[in-house]
Structure 1
Amino acid sequence: MRQLFIFALWGLVHHLGDSCVPTPVILKDVVDRCARSLSEEDKALIRSTTPDGGKLKDFSLCLYTGYGYYRNGSFDLSFIKKFVEDSTGDKSLAERVYVDAEPHLKAANALPGTDGDRTHSFWLRNYDEESRKLREELWC
């Protein structure tokens, strides 16, 4: 379940020595709660490196709402930035991760449609290899 969580938020994480910090417990708890309702097939989609075809909209909404990232119909950019900064000792890395995510968050907020459409749009960036590599450095 740990790998499931890490991929759900930032991608498959590998340990990079002392450069990363433990994943915040609240994030692990939210993933566990949101994943309970998924079939094994859907859980495999979470760990996949290819987009899920929209099957994980409800999961992404549960995830980002549970994290506190998504509230009142949009991603809360200031909350996300502060959360990322507060969760690591490497402020430079936190800034790089946030700067990478910010345009995707803003684009998701601008989308018409449902909350699930917006959270799923941001979820899809998990499949971007360069973004995933950067985020892999944050938490372990």
Structure 2
Amino acid sequence: MTHLKKTPLDLLDDIYSLAYWMTGNEKETADLVNMTYVNLHGSAAETDVLKTFRACYVDQYGNEAQLCISEQDCRPHVTLLEKFREWSADIKLSVLLSEISGLKHEQIAEIVGKPVETIRKWLFIGRRIMVKDMQLKASA
């Protein structure tokens, strides 16, 4: 079976869906999609489009983490809560890349920059969390 290469334009629906699931807001979704496509060149590969989306999400919502090697290297405003937010966003993005975009674990690992085994664990955890979250919202 031949896998067709998707162009950035072919990925527009997937990127919009990912952005909406990540932000939960139409205006923020449109801003995030626009920011992603502004930062792309016309012949970007599928993985590059998704990496750009992740980078734009992190830039827009300030969820970047910096590990501290010594106290002097630490930014005072980087807290455990911010690191947890990044971790949470990456888990959610991993589940959505798998479920909406149909990407394989290896592709998701490349986009997020984590080992494949970490992605597998995140998918297991993230799917359970998202199912329980949707059940809570449906019962409210």
Specify the TM-score bucket, using the shorter chain as the normaliser: 0.3 to 0.5
- The higher radius of gyration belongs to 2
Using structure 2 for the length normalisation, give the TM-score: 0.35
- Greater relative contact order, per chain length (Cα 8 Å cut-off, separation 6+): 1
Using structure 1 for the length normalisation, give the TM-score: 0.35
